[in-house]
Every structure is written in structure tokens, then in C-alpha cells.
Amino acid sequence: MATIRDVARRAGVSPATVSYVLNNSGPVRPETRERVLRAIAELGYHPHAGARQLKRRRSDTVGLILPTGERRLSDPFFLELIHALGDACADHQLDLLIATCRDPAADLRLIDRLYKGRRVDGFLLIDLQRQDPRIPHLRQAGIPFVAFGRVEGNGEFPWVDVDGAAGMREAVAYLVGKGHRRIAYLSPPLSFTFAYHRFRGYQQGLSEADLPLEEALVRITRLTMEGGYEATRALLSEGVPFTALIAATDLMALGAMRALHEAGRTPGQDVAVIGFDDIPMAAQAHPPLTTLRQPMDQIGKALIRTWLAAVNGESPSPTLIPPLLIRRESA
Amino acid sequence: MATIRDVARRAGVSPATVSYVLNNSGPVRPETRERVLRAIAELGYHPHAGARQLKRRRSDTVGLILPTGERRLSDPFFLELIHALGDACADHQLDLLIATCRDPAADLRLIDRLYKGRRVDGFLLIDLQRQDPRIPHLRQAGIPFVAFGRVEGNGEFPWVDVDGAAGMREAVAYLVGKGHRRIAYLSPPLSFTFAYHRFRGYQQGLSEADLPLEEALVRITRLTMEGGYEATRALLSEGVPFTALIAATDLMALGAMRALHEAGRTPGQDVAVIGFDDIPMAAQAHPPLTTLRQPMDQIGKALIRTWLAAVNGESPSPTLIPPLLIRRESA
DNA sequence: CCATTGGATTGAATCGTTTCAATTCCAGGA
DNA sequence: TCCTGGAATTGAAACGATTCAATCCAATGG
């Protein structure tokens, strides 16, 4: 495999000059640059990442840790996120290293190994818990990171999040505008930070519309289609009256719609349904699901931009991205 | 950050000895090893990945290229796969580098950059096309890789695949055993290799049961829930009689079930439905979907095992993994 | 008591870059 | 013609690990 020396020899210059061309550092006469570039192309030369990393003390790699075990992600939303991150990384010539681990303790060990071994320059945390043990660990070890999502108490660290509260306020206002007064709400356990914020938004939305928060209309259930299905069946069988339903995630909304169908109530006609995320399946649902879109590209770009700042020793300010209400036929 | 010299100094030995301890190469007296290990622990030392890579000419990193653009994956199946791969990598102390790219040409450039720059030791190819431009490129460049899936003509290269044909034969036999004679089949375009094999399995299953292949029962449609839904509606509206339906993927089967529901025919009762993949949603469907499970852990392990062999210059033989018929209530 | 043996340890070269400091080059001014 | 100064180029020293070859040492055998 060609090295920088080979290129230098071929172009009739020193390795230093090649390096200057490669990195646009140092002054190089245009025609020399030309010669060097030609040599690079002819040899199909690519700089050795390890050597470069060793000298520059940078690996240009983003670490992404996926939770495993029971917290293993199965929401298709995360696949979208990975894609968006990949694209955003490509924009900045970064690579994305994915690591999984078996238990929370291994999590922290893995973080140390990757960072101290300089395999990655910093981390992206997704799927935060309201109290996440990784955060204090990273902070006190001085490891740069950016979280997708916030945590309880909101210690000072950089994060990017979608404004779940704003989204839900908008959803409620939208439904109220259509005359709905009894709006059910389906949520996963509030220990999920995003669930907590979205639920707060629902509450705020109600109070802005001078509607009471009714316990019976709020259901906490599992973060799956099945969870949404069961909770809705419960609502129906208990005879709690409602004309609209908001689910904290599309997956749950999809489950809810199935329960409504089975009970002979057509979503979008008899009951308005709104979800959150805008996963690909949402548009294909019957009827197509009205939902709050998480603007993936924007999220990916914001995360990487913030990550770069963090890695460069800045303390980037958090970013709150507004979701987008996508009106379809379910509400 | 501590280096190997720091560890050596602290343990009162030379860097060489530390290296021997680290890699279990070379003879080291037990008590010396003890001292070294203690020093490592005390300093929280982790070897520098770049330096190691430079010397060993190995990055211990697996490259995984995700397709983007229109071929972007949205099937949740891939999230499972990424997880399984992550776990399998962890077993061998490997890291998983994910790269996305915008177009097929960029694909090849990216491959070169990652491999020639020694950022990865080889690749894992997923989401193969029946004729995939990446394969000849990798082969002629002598870059080690393993494919998840086969391609047309089946050139000599290492792959791991789930035996879609066997699975479909089993599905047909199972349905025939229950007395079904008119079995519909939903498939994405046969340019997807897996779709091709699965369809062949369906054909074989029919002929083994001495049933004719009936054109009207076979529908080619999009690889989404929506695709399954539409194809099934078409079947129903055209009045083609059938008592069972096999879909090439769970997502499509889910769509089919919805169409059946809407037409007032209960899946599992009026019409038997079988899917393929066993995505998490399958178990939660109504009724729970009978399907052929792709044994993810096994796939991940096989892929990584084969990959390691390929990277070590061996020519590992292909692996065909049988899917597992999971009987639930839909058939 | 010395030579031999073989395990344990170490010194130093090396991997392929980047970058500082030193050198060369060249044009323009004195 | 000789300086001077800035631009262009180069040599060589890192960066942090691995590993070959050389050295050290203790025990054994003659």
C-alpha cells in the first residue's frame, strides 16, 4: 500500500510537502500542489488513519453507544437516527463508531476503553434515562459528549433535543381548535425523559385551553405498539368518554388505532388520533397518522455540530428543535 | 493520558515487558506480570489504538456500509441486525464502524478510503442487490469482506445467509398440512436477492405438494407494510380465491393482515397468514403473526466469525442458516 | 569453579504521519 | 553585484505502540 513517502518520491518533493498539500497547511506553489495531487491520484494513495491519529491526537471518530439488554432499542425511529447521523458525519469527514454493551457497568468500561484508547474523540448519547449514570461519569472524566435528550435537573452539559413539550402543546391546541374537549393521552413510563417532557406539554396544552387534567384519560403503558393497543382497549372497556387521543410515540398511536378499529370506531372520523415521531410507517397507516415529526436531518446535523464544538473544548449551548405538525387524516 | 512508558516506569520494567503482558506474547515472570497489571490499573491505562494500529497493521474494526437515498433501509429488521453485529463484535474485541453514503459511486470511494486508510480491516455488506457493484470492486481490489446474502450467479466470495427457500418450503408444507390448497404469495421485486430465494422456496413448496403455481396468487409489490396492504386488497377485490397467504417479510404480512381485517376476514381464522423475519412487532400483531424467524444472534456471530477468517486471509466457506418457524395464531 | 543453557528482560528500530526549525530559492532594492 | 526578506521546501524529531535481537541472570552439569 502506498505511503506518503511513495507519493513524495513520485512527485519529486519531500513528505512534508505532501502533508502540506493533504491538509492545506503550509504554503505550496500551485504547480507543486498539482504534481502532488497527480501523484496521489495515480497511486491511489490514502493516508493511514492510525498514523495520522497518532500524530494529530485526533481520531475524527464519533462514538455512539447503543443500549442493549432489556433497554435494547427496537423503535424504528432509531434506525432513522443512525442514518441521519451517518449523513451528518459524512459532511464533516467523520466516522461513526457503534458500540453495544451488555450491562450498564460494561457501558462505562467501554466508554473508557474507547476514549482513553483514543479510538473516538467523544461520544453521542442517545436513549437517555432521566437519571443517567453515564453523564456524571463522562463529565468527571472530562470526556467530551453530547446527549440527544435532556436529563432530570438538567446539569450543565451540551444536549440537543426535540421540543416535546412544544409539540404536545401544539397538538392539544390543534385538537381543541377542532372542538375536542376530552383528549386521552398515552405515555410510556415517565422515567423516559422524552416521555416526561411530552406529558408536560400535554398538561400545559390543556391548561392553556382551560381544560382540566383528567386522571382517567391518561394512561401509562409500555413503549410499544402493543402498549398503545392495550391502553386504548382499557380506556374503551372502562367506558371513559373521549373524542381524541394523543400518543407519546407513533408506535403507540398505531396500536391505539388498531384498538379503535376493533371497537368499531374509525380513527380520524369518530376519534382523532395524533402521534409523535413520524416514523415511516405513520404515513402508511390507515388512516395516515397525523403526527409531530422529529426533523431527522436537522437533529443529526445539530448533534454533530454540537459534538464538534464539544470536542474542540468549547461548551456549546443546548439546542431545542421544534417538531413539525404533519397533518394527515387521523386528526 | 498515560502511555506505555508511564506504565513501564511505574512497574519498574521496560515498555517491551509491558507490551508482552498486554498481549500475552513473550515470557514474563508471574510476579512481574502482577506488578505491571497493577500499574496499568492504577494509571487507568489503555493502549493507544492509533499507535497499535500503526505497528500491528490491524485496526480491529469492522466496516459496515449502510445504503442511503432511495435504498435507505427502514425495515426495523436492520436495527436488530446492527445490534446482533455489535454484540458479536464485542465478543471478539472488535469495533463496528458505520458509514453511510449518498450514491453508489460514493459507495466505492468510501470503501477505498476506509480500507486503504486502514480505518477498517474489511467490510460487511448488507442489503445486497442481485447484481451488486460493490462485490466486483471489493474482489478485484483484494479487500476482505463478507456479505449478508447472496448474489446472482454466486461468484466465489464468502457470505452468510438465511435459507429463505428452505423457510418458504417449510411454510408451504405447514399450510398444506393444515389443508390449504390455494396459497397467495406477496413478494417485493425479485431484484432483491432474498426475495428471489424466498419465492423459489414457495415454488418448490408448491411443487413438492403437487400444487400448481397460479399466477394470479402471486403479487409483486413494494417492500413495505403499505405494499402488503395494497397487494392484498387487490387480491380481494379481484375476487381471487385463497385460504392462506405467505408474505416475503413480516412488514408486508402486517399490511396484508390489515387489509384482511378491513375486508372482514379474520387472519388466522378465515385466512392463514405467514410472514418472514420475526421482527418485534410480529409477536404483537393481532393475531400474533406466525413467521419464520431469522436467528439474529446466530447470524451476527456467523458474520463476524466469517469476517475474521476473511481478514486473516482464509477463504471461509459460506454459511446458510435455517430460519425457524415460529407458530403463533395467524396460521 | 567455569561453561552452558534457557527463561526473563531490555534497547532500539520501526510503523506513517505531522510539524517545528532550518534551509533553499528567488525577486526586488540598494 | 550583493543583500534582504518572504515564500517554498526540506530534514528530522516526535507520536505510542510492537518486536527482533541482544543482554542479563540463575541454575545446572561437568
Q: Where does the pLDDT of residue A79 fall: very low under 50, low under 70, confident under 90, or very high at 90 and above?
A: confident
> Least CB-CB distance to A86: which of B54, B99, B112?
B99
B281-314: pLDDT as tens digits: 898 888 999 999 999 999 999 999 999 999 999 9
Using the predicted structure, report yes or no on whether residue A71 has a pLDDT greater than 60. no
Mark yes or no for CB contact A284/B229 under 8 Å: yes
> Least CB-CB distance to B44: which of A48, A116, A226?
A116
Domain at B4-47: CATH code: 1.10.260.40
Any idea what DSSP says for residue A285?
S
Q: Give the C-alpha distances (Å, rounded to integers) separating A47 from A7, A139, A215, A244, B119.
A: 10, 33, 62, 59, 10
Q: Where does the pLDDT of residue B104 fall: very low under 50, low under 70, confident under 90, or very high at 90 and above?
A: confident
Give the pLDDT confidence score for residue B74 in this predicted structure.
67
Give the pLDDT confidence score for residue A295 in this predicted structure.
96
Mark yes or no for CB contact A87/B80 under 8 Å: no
Burial of B150 (0-12, 13-18, 19+ CB in 10 A): buried
Give the pLDDT confidence score for residue A326 in this predicted structure.
97
Instruction: Kindly list the residues from chain B whose CB atom is less than 8 angstroms away from the CB atom of residue A50.
Output: 49-54, 59, 118
State which amino acid sits at residue A310.
Answer: A
Q: How far is B278 from chain A (nearest CA, A)?
A: 12
Taking alpha carbons only, the member of B276, B281, B286 closest to residue B326 is B276
Using the predicted structure, report yes or no on whether residue A102 has a pLDDT greater than 80. no
Residue extents of the structural domains in chain B: 4-47, 61-162+297-323, 164-293
Give the pLDDT confidence score for residue B69 in this predicted structure.
56
Mark yes or no for CB contact B97/A98 under 8 Å: yes
Mean pLDDT score, B89-109:
88
CATH superfamily assigned to domain B164-293: Response regulator (3.40.50.2300)
Share of chain B above pLDDT 70, in %: 97
Our measurement of the distance from residue A129's CA atom to the centroid of its chain's CA atoms, rounded to an integer in Å, reads: 14
Task: Decide which of B235 and A75 is more confident.
Answer: B235
Hits for CB < 7 Å against strand C across A residues 42-101: 45, 47-48, 51-52, 54-56
Using the predicted structure, report yes or no on whether residue B153 has a pLDDT greater than 80. no
Q: How far is the CA of A29 from the C1' of D1 (A)?
A: 29
Instruction: Kindly list the residues from chain B whose CB atom is less than 8 angstroms away from the CB atom of residue A99.
Output: 86, 90, 95-96
Q: Across-strand partners of B96? A: A98, B62
Mean pLDDT of chain B: 93
Give the pLDDT confidence score for residue A284 in this predicted structure.
82
Using the predicted structure, report yes or no on whether residue A154 has a pLDDT greater than 80. no
> Least CB-CB distance to A86: which of B50, B66, B79?
B66
A176-195: pLDDT as tens digits: 999 999 999 999 999 888 99
Q: Is the CB of B59 under 7 A from strand D?
A: no
Lowest mean pLDDT among A99-103, A197-201, B28-32: A99-103
Strands A324-326 and A290-293: antiparallel
Euclidean distance between CA atoms A25 and A22, whole angstroms = 8
Using the predicted structure, report yes or no on whether residue A72 has a pLDDT greater than 60. no
Euclidean distance between CA atoms B16 and B20, whole angstroms = 6
Give the pLDDT confidence score for residue B73 in this predicted structure.
61
Taking alpha carbons only, the member of A122, A102, A279, A251 closest to residue A186 is A251
Euclidean distance between CA atoms B78 and B64, whole angstroms = 12
Give the pLDDT confidence score for residue B80 in this predicted structure.
85
Give the pLDDT confidence score for residue B259 in this predicted structure.
94
Residue to substitute from A53, A289, A304, interface B, most B β-carbons within 10 A: A53
Mark yes or no for CB contact A112/B229 under 8 Å: no
Answer whether CATH 3.40.50.2300 is correct for domain A61-162+297-321.
yes
Using the predicted structure, report yes or no on whether residue B95 has a pLDDT greater than 90. yes
Burial of A72 (0-12, 13-18, 19+ CB in 10 A): middle
- In this chain, the answer to whether the domains covering A4-47 and A61-162+297-321 adopt an identical fold is no
Q: Is the CB of B49 under 7 A from strand D?
A: no
| Alpha helices by DSSP H, chain B | 4-11, 15-23, 30-43, 49-56, 77-91, 104-116, 134-141, 164-177, 193-208, 225-237, 250-262, 280-284, 296-311
Using the predicted structure, report yes or no on whether residue A27 has a pLDDT greater than 80. yes
Give the pLDDT confidence score for residue B131 in this predicted structure.
80
Mean pLDDT of chain A: 92
Q: Where does the pLDDT of residue B127 fall: very low under 50, low under 70, confident under 90, or very high at 90 and above?
A: confident
Asked whether B275 and B292 are in contact (CB, 8 A), the reply is yes
State which amino acid sits at residue B38.
Answer: R
How would you write A130-165 as a 3-class SS string?
Answer: CCCCHHHHHHHHCCCEEEECCCHHHCCCCEEEECHH
Q: Where does the pLDDT of residue B106 fall: very low under 50, low under 70, confident under 90, or very high at 90 and above?
A: confident
Q: Show which of residues 152-211 on chain B sit within 8 Å of chain A, judged by CB atoms.
A: none
Q: Which nucleotides of D are covered by protein (CB under 7 A)?
A: 7-12, 14-21
Give the pLDDT confidence score for residue A69 in this predicted structure.
55
Give the pLDDT confidence score for residue B9 in this predicted structure.
96
Question: pTM for this one?
Answer: 0.91
Mean pLDDT score, B173-202:
95
Q: Which residues contact A301 (CB under 8 A, 6 or more apart)?
A: A84, A88, A91
A241-295: pLDDT as tens digits: 999 999 999 999 999 998 998 899 999 999 999 999 998 889 888 899 999 999 9
- CB of A90 less than 8 A from some CB of B: yes
Hits for CB < 7 Å against strand D across B residues 141-180: none
Residues in chain B: 331
Euclidean distance between CA atoms B215 and B185, whole angstroms = 10
User: In this structure, is the dihedral angle defined by the CA atoms of residues B243, B248, B254 and B255, taken in order, positive or negative?
Assistant: negative
N-term to C-term CA, chain A: 60
In a 3-state reduction of DSSP, which class is residue A53? helix
Euclidean distance between CA atoms B138 and B130, whole angstroms = 16
Asked whether B160 and B318 are in contact (CB, 8 A), the reply is yes
Taking each helix axis from N to C end, the angle separating A30-43 and A4-11, rounded to the nearest 10 degrees, works out to 130
State which amino acid sits at residue A139.
Answer: R
Instruction: Kindly list the residues from chain B whose CB atom is less than 8 angstroms away from the CB atom of residue A95.
Output: 97, 99, 114, 119
Q: Where does the pLDDT of residue B262 fall: very low under 50, low under 70, confident under 90, or very high at 90 and above?
A: confident
Domain at B61-162+297-323: CATH code: 3.40.50.2300
Task: Decide which of B327 and A79 is more confident.
Answer: B327
Using the predicted structure, report yes or no on whether residue B68 has a pLDDT greater than 70. no
Q: Give the nucleotide with minimal C1' distance to the Cα of A14.
A: D10
Mean pLDDT score, B11-15:
96
Inter-chain Cβ pairs, chain A and chain B, closer than 8 A:
153
Cell reading at B256? 396484508
